[in-house]
Amino acid sequence: MRTLNLGILAHVDAGKTSLTERLLHAAGVIDELGSVDDGSTQTDTLDLERRRGITIRSAVVSFAVGNTTVNLIDTPGHPDFIAEVERVLNVLDGAVLVVSAVEGVQAQTRVLMRTLRRLGIPALVFVNKIDRRGARPLGVLEELASRLALPVAAMGEVAGAGTPEAAFVPHDGAELLDVVTLHDDALLAAYVRGGEAVPPARLRAALAAQTREALVHPVFFGSAITGAGVDDLVAGVRELLPAAGGDPGGPVSGAVFKVERGPAGEKLAYARLFSGTLRVRDRLRLPGGGEARVTGMDVISAPAPAARASVAAGQIARLRGLDAVRVGDPLGEPPPRAGEGHFAPPTLETVVRPARPADRGALLLALTRLAEQDPLIGLRQDDARRGLADALRRGPEGGHPGHPAGGGRPGGLLP
């Protein structure tokens, strides 16, 4: 089985979590579609997420598509939680950028796509909500090409836009010729010499190769609510995006992109492995020169995470025993994109004081756990004010062992 680590990215309210739910349903992982409004989706598990109907923390789910295991990472769309998106970008093989067919390209859309292109991450675009009144699929396609300066390839057209019966009608392939020949001189020469239509199979192969190099971004249209176009998107994910690479026999190299606490308060670190094979009881070199032993792991796989004795390059695992690890930490050898900050760090500093002096210890513990999960929060003690630094300082001076100054780790003061 090949593995694909796929990110779902979008501006807020584009329908990203609903699309994730539809993808899981189409793959047979869930029997019934959850609702963002009802707080019943698979990936929004925090109480606050369910109450507010927004994604705050990234979530990882897995499903199988033919011979491909897709590890899907659902990310927040609200710009306030851009740090969640930043940590995920470093572990992706490909992405689906969701855009609303009504609202079109938003400021967050531009930020996300600009970053994807700068990092060379292959991405498909899914224009969602074609069934909503006011849907304008052709207008959004033009915005993608003009406002984002994207080399896009429309994979079909929409029938009945703005109605509950809206449907995605795939192209037969001939419409792709103008796009793929821009980056394939041999294909263009064959077409000019022959004067005949290029076989669809050759066009699709050229499109797949160019998509994997992030030269072209195929655009699908559909609706996460009705399911229109979702099967075509799934087929596109399998065919057009690259599988995870890496040498299982090489040196261990990975990155932690999420940290959470288990039922007993134990730390669980989600890590993508880029190289090597990591086994239970292996010792890992951590930032700052320390080491930690892996005491257990669950490998993310379809239909559910499973306890395993090892995880190989390309896979994602939930690791136990790494008590000192923080989000963004490398494991073993520095991985690709290690230490990169993709978005401008915030520059605010907040001083947090306990309402009751007796609660200082509990407040420090809570802030420490918050800081270990957010790469843009740095917690420090403010000795000058004779208090615990809870300076949630967000700026270039924030620090953490193993992370260079200016890497976007803010500091924080808690007097």
pLDDT of residue 411: 42
pLDDT of residue 36: 55
Q: Over the stretch 301-354, which tens digit does the pLDDT of each residue have?
A: 877 788 999 999 999 999 999 988 888 888 988 887 655 555 566 677 778 888
For residues 365, 299, 83, 26, the Cα torsion angle rounded to the nearest 10 degrees is: -130
- Percent of the chain that is helix, strand, coil (3-state, to 5): 25, 25, 45
Which band of pLDDT confidence, cut at 50, 70 and 90, is reported for residue 286? confident
Which band of pLDDT confidence, cut at 50, 70 and 90, is reported for residue 28? confident
pLDDT of residue 142: 95
Contacts of 403 (CB under 8 A, 6+ apart): 287, 328, 339, 409
- Under DSSP, the state recorded for 78 is S
Which band of pLDDT confidence, cut at 50, 70 and 90, is reported for residue 197? low
pLDDT of residue 279: 96
Handedness of CA 83, 338, 305, 120 (dihedral sign): positive
Mean pLDDT of 218-228: 96
Which of the pair, 236 or 173, is modelled with greater confidence? 236
Handedness of CA 237, 239, 240, 245 (dihedral sign): positive
Terminus-to-terminus CA distance in the chain, angstroms? 53
pLDDT of residue 143: 95
pTM of this structure: 0.80
Q: Give the three-class secondary structure for 29.
A: coil
The two counts, helices (H) then strands (E), for the chain are 10, 19
Mean pLDDT value across the chain: 81
Which band of pLDDT confidence, cut at 50, 70 and 90, is reported for residue 413? very low
Check pLDDT > 90 for residue 24: no
Which residues, listed in sequence order, are joined to residue 287 by a DSSP beta bridge? none
Select from 164, 107, 105 the least CA-distant residue to 130. Answer: 164
pLDDT of residue 1: 79
Taking a C-beta distance cutoff of 8 angstroms, is the pair 92, 7 a contact?
yes
Least confident among 45-54, 194-203, 287-296, 338-347: 45-54
pLDDT of residue 375: 61
Q: Over the stretch 29-73, which tens digit does the pLDDT of each residue have?
A: 776 776 654 555 554 444 433 444 444 456 788 888 888 999 998
Select from 218, 213, 154, 209 the least CA-distant residue to 187. Answer: 209
Q: Over the stretch 350-383, which tens digit does the pLDDT of each residue have?
A: 788 888 888 888 888 888 777 776 666 777 776 6
Mean pLDDT of 99-113: 92
* Token pair of 335 as six digits: 């991985």
* Token pair of 193 as six digits: 């010499």
Check pLDDT > 80 for residue 401: no
Q: Where would I find the beta strands (DSSP E) of 35-93?
A: 59-65, 68-74
Contacts of 220 (CB under 8 A, 6+ apart): 124, 125, 126, 127, 155, 156, 168, 229, 232, 233, 236
Check pLDDT > 80 for residue 397: no
Which of the pair, 386 or 159, is modelled with greater confidence? 159
Select from 249, 247, 271 the least CA-distant residue to 260. Answer: 271
pLDDT of residue 406: 34
Taking a C-beta distance cutoff of 8 angstroms, is the pair 329, 253 a contact?
no
* Token pair of 260 as six digits: 């959470």
Q: Over the stretch 163-189, which tens digit does the pLDDT of each residue have?
A: 999 999 998 777 888 888 888 888 888
Least confident among 36-40, 230-234, 257-261: 36-40
Mean pLDDT of 114-125: 91
Residue 159 to residues 125, 135, 227, 235, 265, Cα–Cα distance (Å): 18, 11, 14, 20, 51
Element holding 41 (H helix, E strand): none
Taking a C-beta distance cutoff of 8 angstroms, is the pair 253, 335 a contact?
yes
